[in-house]
Structure 1
């Protein structure tokens, strides 16, 4: 079982949760009552069944695979202060989140030992880390329809997956600064 240290700040914490059921107000309003008046609805993504990873590269139509988000464009020392992503599986099928076990700052320190403090950690740092022979573990967590996560996707390597599933899965996403425990935990 993976658990965060008791004192881990929200910006470093992944929570598997059951978000509120969307009401007639629409998905864009779902996150408003969760404590961040500036939370931003960033849309939905539909994934076909059987996809190892689900994030599209809009430039060339291929899949990105495991990656870091960069919505807030934060430098090394502030990466853990970024907004967290709230995700809700709208179904009809299960979806998985895949998470890397090593944070962006730790990887950046290894890949750029003499300049990490001046860097903006990036997905390419993880690629260089693995190419240099360093180990990277990942976990895959199932999310049934109605379940979701709140995760620091700018701080942890991640992607979605429908591998092994026979139904499509739609996810809705928001970005915000939410305190730890804002939604009921499923773990």
Structure 2
């Protein structure tokens, strides 16, 4: 009863966008205007997913999508006209940047020869492990140093192949399979809008977790989906008893979407050769290949990334090491 009353008191408050996670677009990107859409809220995947198999409590964006109005755009986008005095906010900024074609060209050439659409994911990833192919990845890592918030060794999470036409693309297996065994499509379960937990930090520490840089290596636009609220924002919107019972926040996204299904999802276009930077341990998100005709292919790293024109390395390093408190 307490939970229901708490939800009713806040339902109108969370029926429209709030200012939260901020989007920062690199100035050299093309097509700045038509890059963001917002949904009509979220819905349980069972009502919309067609033939796709979703987890029982999965949520996906509720269509129709529309362009944000001017007020919503201001809520979503950081002001790039002047450097942020606090620098890049690790837990509450999303960025989009461009990787130059010559940097990606050696790897793209290899990928086209591999014809990923005709290979199993396992075979494809094995082929990428050859010394020649690893050499093609080095120029990309070297270029990405300009987006390091401070010197560190990022973790290459890997290369991901996803089918076109997916409302959301993150999936898991219904049961573990032996190494080397082909994946049974009937065992694939899509998780919908979700929270990463690479570091399993508690809610109050999530803003210090490493963020993700994900490069679109495909031939078509792909879309990053997110709710523009940090995990701390979600916890503030929920009953304190629910938050107390989930110290790592792993279920807060599901609870928020259940309580406030009218709160919109943001869809962000990431064109071929572009990368997004996002705090996926600190916000509800997924990706979509819904309008694609070809395989969705990405390269993903975990580290401390940011766009250089809003960086303040000293403040960021203090936040990561815990020397100062940040509300992001």
What TM-score do the two structures reach when normalised by structure 2?
0.50
How far off its partner does 1:164 sit?
1.8
**Would the aligned equivalents of 1:67 and 1:159 in 2 still touch at CA under 8 Å?**
yes
Q: Provide closer, same or farther for how the CA distance between residues 92 and 108 of structure 1 changes in structure 2, counting only shifts above 3 A.
A: same
Which deviations, in whole Å up to 9, do the C-alpha atoms of 1:125-161 show, x marking residues without a partner? Answer: 1211222246422111111210110110011111111
Q: Provide closer, same or farther for how the CA distance between residues 156 and 29 of structure 1 changes in structure 2, counting only shifts above 3 A.
A: farther
**Would the aligned equivalents of 2:164 and 2:295 in 1 still touch at CA under 8 Å?**
yes
**Would the aligned equivalents of 1:91 and 1:171 in 2 still touch at CA under 8 Å?**
yes
Paired with 1:43 and 1:182, the residues of 2 have a C-alpha distance of: 24
| Residue of structure 1 equivalent to 2:181 | none
| Residue of structure 2 equivalent to 1:25 | 135
The question of 1:71 aligning with 2:198 is answered yes
Q: Provide closer, same or farther for how the CA distance between residues 45 and 109 of structure 1 changes in structure 2, counting only shifts above 3 A.
A: same
User: Per the alignment, in what secondary structure is the counterpart of residue 273 of structure 2?
Assistant: coil
Q: What is the correspondence of 1:1-187 to structure 2 with a 5 Å cutoff? A: 1=73, 2-4=76-78, 6=84, 7=86, 9-19=89-99, 21-22=103-104, 25-27=135-137, 30-32=140-142, 33-34=145-146, 35=148, 36-59=151-174, 60-114=187-241, 116=243, 119-122=247-250, 124-133=251-260, 135-178=262-305, 180-182=306-308
User: Per the alignment, in what secondary structure is the counterpart of residue 253 of structure 2?
Assistant: helix
Return 5+ residue gaps in structure 1 as ranges: none
Which deviations, in whole Å up to 9, do the C-alpha atoms of 1:62-118 show, x marking residues without a partner? Answer: 111111110011111110111110000001222110111222111123334147467
Q: Aligned residues, how many?
A: 182
Paired with 1:58 and 1:109, the residues of 2 have a C-alpha distance of: 32
Q: Provide closer, same or farther for how the CA distance between residues 158 and 115 of structure 1 changes in structure 2, counting only shifts above 3 A.
A: closer
Paired with 1:30 and 1:4, the residues of 2 have a C-alpha distance of: 27
**Would the aligned equivalents of 2:195 and 2:253 in 1 still touch at CA under 8 Å?**
no
Larger helix proportion, structure 1 or 2?
2
Which deviations, in whole Å up to 9, do the C-alpha atoms of 1:7-57 show, x marking residues without a partner? Answer: 461321100111353357333673352434220100011121111111111
**Would the aligned equivalents of 1:13 and 1:152 in 2 still touch at CA under 8 Å?**
yes
Q: CA RMSD in A?
A: 2.5
Q: Provide closer, same or farther for how the CA distance between residues 126 and 25 of structure 1 changes in structure 2, counting only shifts above 3 A.
A: same
Whichever of the two has the greater Rg, that structure is 2
**Would the aligned equivalents of 1:41 and 1:175 in 2 still touch at CA under 8 Å?**
yes
Paired with 1:110 and 1:100, the residues of 2 have a C-alpha distance of: 13
